[in-house]
């Protein structure tokens, strides 16, 4: 069976995916209200962006758990096993560099946005910064763990 971290990543992605459908339905609702009733909403566009953006962020973790991220294999496939192992380690190292930079550099603004519950101050005034900024940091942190889990899952020989 899969480990708890992978189960978390997969389940979170699966539970958030329906938000895409919500984004579609409210967008159609907006089109109908505006065209047929001349009554556009002030919330549909902003909520569509918020829902989609939240999915975009978390989708990175979901794809990582499924090891779907794209790479060029033309050289690495022909490398001897020790060299391939070195490339795998390099991959983990660079992933850490990128993800930890997001966590380290992003957490203070994320915390500021969350603790002060930053809103957009538009007519809808959604808490988009307060939700998305922490979500980016937390997802990057989860991706750090998921990378290590993937590495253990594949064994040291890959």
Partner 1 sequence: MDIGTITLLMGAAIVLLMMLGVHLVFVTGSVAVVTVLLTFGPNALPLIASRIYSTVDNYALVSVPMFVMMAGILERAGVARDLYDAMHVWSGKLRGGVALQTMIAAVIMAAMTGIVGGEIMLLGMVALPQMFRLNYDRKLAIGTICAGGALGTMIPPSLVLIIFGLTASVSIGDLFLASIGPGLLLAALYLAYIWVRCWLNPELGPVSNEGQNLSLAEKIALLRGLVLPVGVAALVLGSIYGGVASVSEAAAVGVAGAMICAAVRNALTVELMVAVLRQTMRICGTILWLTFGASALIGVYGLIGGTKFVAGLMAGLPLSPLGIIMVMMLIVFVLGTVMDWIGICLLTMPIFVPLVNELGFDPVWFGVLFCLNVQIAYLSPPFGPAAFFLKSVAPPDVTLQEIFAAMMPFIALQIVALGVLLFWPPLALWLVG
Partner 2 sequence: QETFSWRFQTLWAAGSINMKIFSDFCTNVAKMSGGRLTIEPLAGGSVVGAMELYDAVQTGILDGQNGGGGYVAQKDIAFVMLGDLAGAYERPDQMQAWYEYGGGKELARELYAAHGTYHVGLVWHGMESIPSKVPINGTADLKGVKMRAPAGAVSKILERFGGAPVSIPGGEVYTSLERGVLDATDWGTLSMNTDLGFQKVAPYALYPGFHSMPATDIVVNMDRWNALPDDLKEILTVATRDFGRDMYQRLMIEDQKVAQSAGGMGLTLIDWPQEDRRRFRATASEVWQELAADSPMARKIVDSQTDFLKQIGLI
How many Å apart are CA 18 and CA 36, to the nearest integer?
27
Choose among partner 2, partner 1, none what residue 22 binds, the Cβ cut-off being 5 to 8 Å by kind: none
Choose among partner 1, partner 2, none what residue 87 binds, the Cβ cut-off being 5 to 8 Å by kind: partner 1
Choose among partner 2, partner 1, none what residue 39 binds, the Cβ cut-off being 5 to 8 Å by kind: partner 2
Residues 6+ apart with CB under 8 A from 53: 128, 132
Among 43, 85, 91, 118, binds partner 1 (CB under 8 A): 91
Q: What share of the chain is helix, strand, coil (3-state, %, to 5)?
A: 75, 0, 25
Among 8, 43, 85, 106, binds partner 1 (CB under 8 A): 106
Nearer to partner 2, 5 or 47 (CB): 47
User: Which tokens hold the place of 125?
Assistant: 């005034």
How many Å apart are CA 33 and CA 61, to the nearest integer?
36
In the complex, minimum distance from the CB of residue 4 to partner 1, in angstroms, rounded to a whole number: 20
**136 neighbors 104 (Cβ within 8 angstroms):** no
Among 76, 116, 122, 154, binds partner 1 (CB under 8 A): 76
In the complex, minimum distance from the CB of residue 51 to partner 2, in angstroms, rounded to a whole number: 15
Q: Is 28 in the site for partner 1 (CB under 8 A)?
A: yes
In the complex, minimum distance from the CB of residue 3 to partner 1, in angstroms, rounded to a whole number: 19
Closest among 57, 93, 60, 64 to 153, alpha carbons compared: 64
**109 neighbors 136 (Cβ within 8 angstroms):** no
């Amino acid at each position: 069976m899969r480990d708890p971290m992978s189960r978390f990543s997969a389940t979170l992605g699966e539970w958030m995916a329906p938000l895409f459908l919500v984004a579609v339905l409210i967008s159609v609702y907006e089109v109908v209200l505006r065209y047929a009733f001349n009554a556009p909403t002030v919330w549909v566009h902003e909520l569509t962006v918020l829902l989609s953006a939240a999915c975009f962020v978390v989708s990175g973790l979901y794809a990582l758990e499924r090891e779907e991220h794209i790479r060029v294999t033309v050289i690495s496939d022909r490398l001897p096993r020790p060299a391939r192992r070195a490339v795998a380690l390099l991959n983990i190292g660079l992933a850490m560099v990128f993800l930890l930079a997001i966590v380290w550099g992003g957490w203070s603004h994320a915390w500021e946005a969350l603790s002060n519950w930053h809103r957009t101050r538009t007519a809808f005034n959604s808490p988009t910064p307060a939700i998305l900024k922490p979500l980016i940091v937390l997802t990057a942190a989860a991706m750090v763990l998921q990378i290590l889990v993937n590495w253990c899952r594949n064994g040291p020989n890959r």
